[in-house]
């Protein structure tokens, strides 16, 4: 039973990390536009919110267990890779 629970937590962590990572890294482009437009206050606020939400997710996954945390981190990296590939294609 414990193995099934660990697997379920890994799947949930991977899904949550991928979704949060996609939002986090997609918002990075939006955030960069604020910096480029000279809206430094808005950009710093948006960056703080973006990073805090990601940190809260990682904290929640850590409370769930190490397997969920590691899977969530893997999801973040997968999302980062996907967002970067998409950004290169649209240039």
81: nearest Cα among 17, 22, 12, 20? 22
Q: Identify the pLDDT of residue 22.
A: 93
Residue 11 contacts residue 69 (beta carbons within 8 Å) = no
25: nearest Cα among 90, 82, 91, 88? 82
Binned at pLDDT 50, 70 and 90, residue 36 comes out as: very high
Which residue has 């899977």 as its token pair? Answer: 71
* pLDDT beyond 60 at 1: no
Q: Hey, what's the torsion of the CAs at 63, 66, 72, 78, to 10 degrees?
A: 160
Q: Identify the pLDDT of residue 15.
A: 96
Give the span between the Cα atoms of 88 and 42, in whole angstroms: 26
* pLDDT tens-digit readout, 50-91: 999 999 999 999 999 999 999 999 999 999 999 888 888 877
Q: Identify the pLDDT of residue 66.
A: 93
Residue 28 contacts residue 82 (beta carbons within 8 Å) = no
Q: Is the pTM of this model over 0.85?
A: no
């Amino acid at each position: 039973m414990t193995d099934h629970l660990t697997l379920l937590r890994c799947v949930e962590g991977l899904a949550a990390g991928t979704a949060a990572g996609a939002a986090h890294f997609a918002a990075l482009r939006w955030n960069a536009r604020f910096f480029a437009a000279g809206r430094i206050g808005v950009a710093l606020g948006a960056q703080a919110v973006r990073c805090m939400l990601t940190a809260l997710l990682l904290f929640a996954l850590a409370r769930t267990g190490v397997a969920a945390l590691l899977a969530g981190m893997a999801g973040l990296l997968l999302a980062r890779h996907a967002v970067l590939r998409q950004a290169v294609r649209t240039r």
